A and B are shown apart, each in its own frame.
Chain A
Amino acid sequence: MSSGRGKREAENGRCNINVVQLEGLALMKIIKHCHEEGAGNTEVAQGVLLGLVVDERLEITNCFPFPRHADDVDEEDYQLEMMRHLRKVNVDHLSVGWYQSTQLGNFITTQLLESQFSYQTSIEESVVLIYDPIKTARGFLSIKAYRLTPEAINIVQERDYTPEALKKGRLGFETLFQEIRLVIKNSHLVNTLLTELYEFMPGSEGKQFLDLGTMSTLDRQLRCLMENVDDLSQEANKFNNFQRQNAKQLQDKHKFMQKRAAENAQRQARGEPPLPEEDINKQFKPIAPLPRLDAMITSGQIYNYCKQVSQFCSQSLGKLYVAKALQQEKK
């Protein structure tokens, strides 16, 4: 792990990461932190990931949480301090991104985009790990690694979210984030321990994933989905209005041009100099195009929800089949 002190590919502009390799220790620390902090309240837990880049693989070997209410502590100082301390105990001390907890996958937000953007512009190889404590509690470990796509980086750099720019940058809600394959890797020693522990595990444990009570989750997901759909609907409405205004202005402009042209033709016939055509821009100030960032993020969020609901439903149906089979067996 530490042997391949991988050469960073920052020199050639873009570093390409295909896979994130997560150390068991780091994962456990993330889980612990998120469960401690995110339990019961809606606040998100966040922290820094530490690790290395090896070729196209990002190895995350350690992490530490952000302080919770850091009003008096300067976060940057805190981070540097932490990293210095970790270096002293000979742990990887290079920041390679950050992690955040989520609830029901509601993590696609402007804040996430902004933070990940700043990470990725300062530290090329940064990833964000999204961890869902609720889902994990139900028996499905849910941790995902995301990076902004190069297109997204370009657009965010420009801060230009007009439809034109998005079109030019070929950015849609699907291409905003790219998910990166995540592998959990443990040392052999740990693996041995785990197999040993497995022996001790009581038979009734670890079967939560067969839980049939699905209604409340679906309920909540639907509510969130509805909220987002409402937002998106509003955005669409806004855009619609903007379009209408723009079309109207275009029309007016067109009319004006025609009139001016006719006038100029007349003037030419009379031998007078033609009127200038520059003042048209003064008269019709172009309406500022609507930023589409919010709409895009909401769409991304909806897409995410839909994927989740779909996944959840497939799983639930599977369980129902199992349950049905068991019922029949009993008869």
Chain B
Amino acid sequence: MTSRFFMSDSESESDSSEEEIVPEPPGISSSVFVFSEDEDETKRVVRSAKEKRYEELKNIIKNIKNYKKNRDMASLLSSFEDVCRAYSKALPVVQKEEGGRTPRFYIRCLAELDDFIQSVWEDKAGRKSMSKNNAKGLTTLRQKYRKYAKDYEADIAVFRENPDAPDSDAEVEHDEQEDDSDDDNIMDRGPAAFGKEVAPSKTTSKITKGSEDEDDDDDDSFDWGHDSEDESSSSDGDGGIDSLRKKFLKDKRERDEDDLKRRKKRGQREIKTKDEESDDDVGWERVKKGSSMPMEKPKMFGKDDEINVTSVHKKLNEIMAARGKKGTDRKEQIELLHELLNVARDNNLGPAIYVKIQFNIIMSVYDYNPSVSDPMKTEFWEKVLVKIDELLDMLIENPELTIGEQVTEETESLEKTPYLVRGCVLTIVDRMDEEFIKLLKACDAHSNEYIVSLRDEIRVCAIIDKLLKYKEEKGMPADICRVYLRKIEHLYYKYEPRAAKQAVGELPTTDDTTLAEMDRLCKYIYVRDNTDRLRTRAVLCHIYHMSLHDKWYEARDLMLMAHLQETIHHSDLPTQILYNRTMVQLGLCAFRHGNIKEAHNALLDIQSGGRAKELLAQGLLPQRQHERTTEQEKQEKQRQIPFHQHINLEMLECVYLVSAMLIEIPYMAAHEFDARRRMISKSFHHQLKNSERQSLVGPPESMREHVVAASKAMRNGNWKQCRNLLLNDKMNAKVWDLFHEADRVRKMLGGKIQEESLRTYLFTYSHVYDSISLVKLSDMFELPYSTVHAIISKMIINEEIMASLDEPTSCLVMHRTEPSSLQSLSLQLADKLYNLVENNERILDQKPFFTRGMQVLAVGTVTAGKRATGETVETAETKTSTAVVTEIKHQRFAVWPRKGAYHKQLMACLPLEPSSKGDWGPHIQQLATHPASYHLSMFLWYTRGSEGRELDVWAPPLQSWFLCNLQKTEAKNHLKCYYVSRL
């Protein structure tokens, strides 16, 4: 054990070479440099300005290379700054000598630096393990480089196209060193890095792949055969290199081979040590050892150290102190904790410390995945399950051990009973559950993978059950509530056939079903919970579960009692989603029970916007107006419900549309001529309109088409066709067979269709009947006589049809009082005219501005309007009964509210009783000369209906009066109408 840590220390000199990003092994190439540098120094005495400047630059570049090898970021940064400065000094020379072209070696330096920075930056683990100084240097360097490199982007790009071409100057030593570094890089970096070198333009794609590559390296970091292959290929690839290079190639090869051997040996050693220390789990051994061990890494106990609870605890704290810090290698941390666990176990330090370490291991595993939205890896997941199980077992086995959040660091008691350990098992299990959901969401819902993942649910449930048992024994009510809710959330969406059997009576009521369990759990939460959220969720799950098991009345009552509708908008989104799911389930339950209206109301909100998918969190809808940001999309994805809890959307829509049809079609039939008919269901109307818009309506294919076709059949009272369109093989497969008691639902639906078709039929065709035999109706609709009787009675009571039942002949006698289409149109027109007159009179009221010309216009339109109403109503009334006339009369009076004064005058000149028969002369005289004779005629017309008696008495004198006014077409028409109505 200790050796391992020592070993890793001894490795530190070369540990960088183990990492994929480290460019060159130190020592080798630098010696080459030193040599060549010396040569340079001695040879050149007189140098041109260009040479001088270039020399300077090259020196700094060499330094940079050295620092790169050493990964000394701070010095690298300062060198970089130097080189920038030096180059700016050299710029005039460059302008002169090279014609403004940036020298190639400089660009090469920049490009390499770029690669280096990028690779170091990408290696997150390596970055973490850097010293503070270095890390800071790296970030600054990266920023500075970016700023600086902008000016040379074009040049760098040109360079990258052909990186291996020789630099313009006598850059031999440069080149060699280049090759050196290249090949060494390849050695060290593995395929990913190699690819980067060969095709630098691909770097962007590499960045995304980087993490994968890293993982690969984790697994086969000792796969050397791989690298040597790369090496050879790389030397193949670097074909067109000048001869000078070849000279070096040979001894480089030798060097490389040496290197290889050395490494192999080291690798074996490492594997060996690993095997020695490996504990039960193989999955954990894949962790790469020795890589970027931080220098400040805590050491495990020395051989002579006394191992007791305190020291282990201290150690643990030390390890955990690194948690969450930037430079911490999470893998290694887990590793260390395992180590510690073994120590604790070997030394029998008591359950408390063991539990504590276990606990921390689990936490560290959770921490391993830095991104919240990604699921953890399967092997970690498996591990966590096992660990949590172990932890719970231990907790149950050691009743004297208390674990809880209320225990502070100070009050922890790890050595003696009663043990007190700080930590929260609940949180761990909660987190586990979340991870499980994430894991499920990460796989394709239709693949086998999903099913395999889903199998773990049993284990998850077992753990929750175990926790539940543990908490029930010794836990606070609040904690128990939380566990219960966990349990509930795994229960509520599952249908248990046993519960259905129990309801029928096939199973004894004493049997424990999920229903009973839900009841017990939820009731506990209702009583004990003091956070609203848990209770709300529990209620919703409870309702959901009951609806699922066809406990309609219980579910409905609970929903009504909970009063969630008012407050649900203030709760968090997952709860709102749960609410939506519950409402849908409740609606489906209502439908199965034949409560069509309730079903429609429950589903209306979900279905109305056409966003059911989104509201139930069963998938993302493309947004029309604006794109989501990736952040939003991530959030939405997180909210999604895992596939196995989905509610079938097509079934949902079908149930909704069928409910809407059963309500809307009779309503449409009843209010055909209504001006302001309200739509009950917009989406249903939308479907109807869609089908109307089609030029050719073929036989129905989809569920929607079936429903629309059925609606049309029902509109004509053709219930058989309607039923056949809804209940056929196609629809069975699509929708109805998805219900648990499909046959019962189908029977219910058939019955409903018959009843509503009967109603529709009566609404639509009652005006062609004087009377209908109920027996005949019951034959037509194949409904029992009593049902027909009940439906019709209900319609009569609700004043939906104006008719009465004639019991002896069992007939429905129509009163024929519904206005015909023309009459209702006239009524509508009267309404509109009333509005118009109102508007016009308002114009007239505003005298100060009003001009005479307008007055003429306005009055003109009013008279036009008047004519229209007067005359149309007459014709409409050629076929009316008294009831409608009275109604129209009311309308009429409403139209001319301001003519009240006239009416009074007119009433004054009309005798209430004829003084003696035939003595009408003076009155007629009076009437004929009256200036308002036109209005009078209208007035008489209105009053005619209700005061028929008087009219009869008045008939002869009126007739003669009308005859006096025959030149007025209006009067003539009134008279005609009068006679027609008397026919």
Contact = CB atoms under 8 A, between A and B. Distances in A.
Given A233-B836, A240-B839, A226 B851 contact: no
A324 B983 contact: yes
Contacts of B59: none
Contacts of A305: 868
A250 B843 contact: no
Contacts of B822: 215, 218-219, 222
Nearest to A214: B875
A299 B851 contact: no
Interface string A194-228: 00000000000000000000110011001101100
B980 interface: yes
Given A236-B840, A317-B976, A317-B977, A226 B860 contact: no
B839 A237 contact: yes
B864 A167 contact: no
A72 B865 CA distance: 44
Interface stretch (A63-71, A93-101, A263-271, A308-316): A308-316
Interface string B828-859: 11001101100110110010111111101110
Interface residues of A, number: 47
Nearest to B675: A226
B140 interface: no
A219 B846 contact: no
A243 B846 contact: yes
A222 B820 CA distance: 13
B861 interface: yes
A218 B983 CA distance: 22
B821 interface: yes
A243 to B, nearest CB: 5
B861 A299 contact: yes
Q: Size range of the interface on B?
A: 35 or more
Contacts of A239: 843
A275 interface: no
Contacts of A170: 853
A299 B848 contact: no
B980 A317 contact: yes
Given A222-B826, A222-B872, A240-B842, A320 B878 contact: yes
A143 interface: no
A219 B843 contact: no
Interface in A260-302: 292, 295-296, 299, 302
B264 to A, nearest CB: 85
A305 B832 CA distance: 15
Contacts of A215: 820-822
B849 A247 contact: yes
B12 interface: no
Given A233-B836, A237-B839, A222 B825 contact: yes
A303 B864 contact: yes
Contacts of A250: 848-849
B868 A309 contact: yes
Contacts, number: 130
A233 to B, nearest CB: 4
Contact of A299 (B843, B864, B872): B864
A313 B826 contact: no
A299 B860 contact: yes
Contacts of A243: 843, 846, 849-850
Contacts of A320: 878, 980
Contacts of B833: 229
A75 interface: no
Contacts of A244: 846
A160 to B, nearest CB: 13
Contact of A173 (B821, B825, B860): B860
Contact of B832 (A173, A233, A247, A303): A233
A112 interface: no
B860 to A, nearest CB: 6
A303 B867 CA distance: 9
A185 B864 CA distance: 34
Contacts of A88: none
A223 B825 CA distance: 7
B944 to A, nearest CB: 17
B329 interface: no
A223 B849 CA distance: 34
User: Which of A215, A223, A233, A314 has the most C-beta atoms of chain B within 10 angstroms of its own C-beta?
Assistant: A233
Nearest to B855: A167
A152 interface: no
A310 B871 contact: yes
A298 to B, nearest CB: 8
Given A229-B832, A240-B843, A299 B868 contact: no
B653 interface: no
Contacts of A43: none
Given A215-B822, A313-B875, A225 B977 contact: no
Given A222-B872, A225-B829, A225-B868, A166 B848 contact: no
A163 interface: yes
Contacts of B867: 306, 310
A252 interface: no
B435 interface: no
A52 to B, nearest CB: 36
Contacts of A299: 857, 860-861, 864
A223 B675 CA distance: 11
A199 B973 CA distance: 38
B825 A226 contact: yes
A219 B820 CA distance: 11
A250 B850 CA distance: 13
A174 interface: yes
Contacts of B835: 233
Given A223-B825, A317-B980, A232 B875 contact: no
A286 to B, nearest CB: 12
A251 to B, nearest CB: 10
A121 to B, nearest CB: 24
B857 A218 contact: no
Contacts of A154: none
A118 interface: no
Nearest to B970: A310
B217 interface: no
B857 A172 contact: yes
A246 interface: yes
A233 B835 CA distance: 7
A302 B865 contact: yes
B176 interface: no
A313 B973 contact: yes
A14 interface: no
The 3 closest A-B pairs by CB, nearest first: A167-B853, A236-B839, A233-B836
15 contacts: A163-B851, A172-B860, A214-B875, A218-B875, A219-B821, A233-B835, A236-B840, A236-B843, A236-B858, A244-B846, A250-B848, A292-B857, A303-B864, A309-B868, A309-B871
Given A164-B851, A226-B828, A229-B836, 14 more contacts: A163-B851, A163-B853, A163-B857, A167-B853, A172-B857, A225-B868, A229-B833, A236-B836, A243-B850, A292-B854, A299-B861, A305-B868, A309-B872, A317-B878
